[in-house]
Amino acid sequence: PCAMGAIGVTGGTAANALAAKADLILAVGTRLSDFTTASRSLFRTSSATLIQLNAAGFDAAKHGALPLIADARAGLDALDRALAT
């Protein structure tokens, strides 16, 4: 699935179950706050790769993520082009 909705305490059961099993998380335009992610423990796979695309560098680098600092649309377009090659 491309998007399952919100995760964390305000998220849905399906989205939280997928987040717990994910080996790659691409978060776009979200702060992934400690409240939302339970300080990353929501992602139970400790080896999961977390990529955060955010216009704010501080938020993009949270939780040891690979930060992609850009506007959401421009960043997703650039990521799509890079993966297509």
For residues 15 and 36, is the Cβ–Cβ distance under 8 A? no
Biggest CA-to-CA distance, the chain: 38
Q: What is the DSSP string of 21-66?
A: H-SEEEEES----HHHHTTTTTS--TT-EEEEEESSHHHHTGGG-E
| pTM for this prediction | 0.78
- pLDDT recorded at residue 82: 95
pLDDT tens sequence for the chain (85 residues): 577 788 888 888 888 888 888 888 888 988 777 666 655 566 766 678 889 999 998 888 887 889 999 999 999 999 999 999 8
- Which value, in Å, is the radius of gyration of the alpha carbons in the chain? 13
